[in-house]
Copies of this chain bind each other. A is one copy, B any other.
Amino acid sequence: MAQGPTITTIAKRAGVSIASVSRVLNGLPTRQDTVSRVMAAAEELGYVRNAVARSLKSRRTHQVAFAMADVGNPAYLSMLREIQPVLKDAGYRLVLHSTGAVVADEIDVLHSLGERYVDGMIMVPLRVTEAHLEMLATARAPVVVIGSVPEGTPVDNVRADSRTGVRLAIDHLHALGRRRIGLVNGPLDTVPGAARGAGYREALGALGLPYDDELVEIGDFYRDEGRRAVATLLARRPDVDALMCANDLIALGALDVLRAAGRRVPEDVAVVGMDDTDLAAASWPSLTSVSLGSAERGRTAAELLLDRLQESEHAPRVVTVPPRLTVRASTTGGEAPPRVGESGTTGSGEPDGGGG
């Protein structure tokens, strides 16, 4: 932890000026003799460039921030997993901001862009408020928003499409002969809740199925709440033959309740989840689930940001990532073991020390 050497230290040691040291270090044309003496000195001293000083001079930090509510959320996590390598390969470090469910913190993070400790930011806002739009309009560095932002906001924008996602699921259930398809949704005042509710109505309409209030139950995006909501729905409409759940946790809750009630899945009631998290493959029966393409959205966002950091001047771009349905046992039955390698992503034990 000794005071690290600087180019000045090297210059002295090699008997040259700091300018020459800098040249050598940056591979600029230099006499061979000078090169070797500088290199030797640097080697001996264990010199490493100071990133902070470089950044001050170059106005580039080679850092990018990723801000979202909670790394524990599988959707954000899969974004992160894609963003990380893309940035790394491009020579950028990743600064992580987990803001919690607090909108004010998101504003803070946007504000902190002014500190210029990063070259740009990828953000997944919980919801987009007026304050967000103001900050985005005056941001001192490029921002890519994952989520939806009004037309005219001067940022790149990567969107999911859960309405279509719900529709994929409903179509699938319909094709399997289900006609009394329930919806177990999250709160309607959240962006996903509203979009999924709308998708459900739309899908039914397109299939010529009637919309029936009794087949819809609102809870929250948690397993407990899912159980409660499904129990209620089941009591009210025992004839339901399929359940569209607004996320995988709700769907797990549905499996719990159906099992306890002695209903077979999928023979009596088919179940579809959403987000296609690792839990979907792990559950029994494994869960048919709609992926909203978190991974792809993450990757796309990173690519858009990098592109903008190469100082290309584009108008704001909007990319919508299509959803995808992964069919598993909870709708089609069968032993269907998880695909090989499917769960490999979260594999491997973890190092420990076997102490004690």
Of all chain B residues, the one with the shortest Cβ separation from A354 is B195
Contact A148 B259 (CB under 8 A): no
Of all chain B residues, the one with the shortest Cβ separation from A350 is B75
A53, B61: Cα distance in complex, Å:
11
* Complex partner residue of A115 from B48, B69, B160, CB under 8 angstroms: B48
Hey, what's the 0/1 contact readout for A163-202 against B, CB within 8 Å counting as 1?
Answer: 1100000000000000000000010001111111011000
The count of residues in chain A whose C-beta lies closer than 8 Å to any C-beta of chain B is 117
Hey, what's the 0/1 contact readout for A314-332 against B, CB within 8 Å counting as 1?
Answer: 0000001010000000000
Contact A346 B74 (CB under 8 A): yes
Contact B161 A115 (CB under 8 A): no
A237 surroundings in chain B (CB, below 8 A): none
A299 surroundings in chain B (CB, below 8 A): none
Of all chain B residues, the one with the shortest Cβ separation from A117 is B51
Q: Is A278 an interface residue (CB 8 A)?
A: yes
* Complex partner residue of A283 from B246, B284, B345, B355, CB under 8 angstroms: B284
A157 surroundings in chain B (CB, below 8 A): 353
A246 surroundings in chain B (CB, below 8 A): 349
Given A48-B115, A347-B73 in contact, is the A352-B147 Cβ separation under 8 Å? yes
Interface set of A (CB-CB < 8 Å, partner B): 1-2, 4, 46, 48-53, 55-56, 61, 63, 69-77, 80-81, 84-85, 88, 93-98, 101, 111-112, 114-117, 124-127, 138-142, 146-149, 157, 159-164, 186, 190-196, 198-199, 220-224, 227, 246-247, 249, 252, 255-256, 259-260, 274-275, 277-279, 282-284, 292, 294, 320, 322, 335, 337-338, 340-356
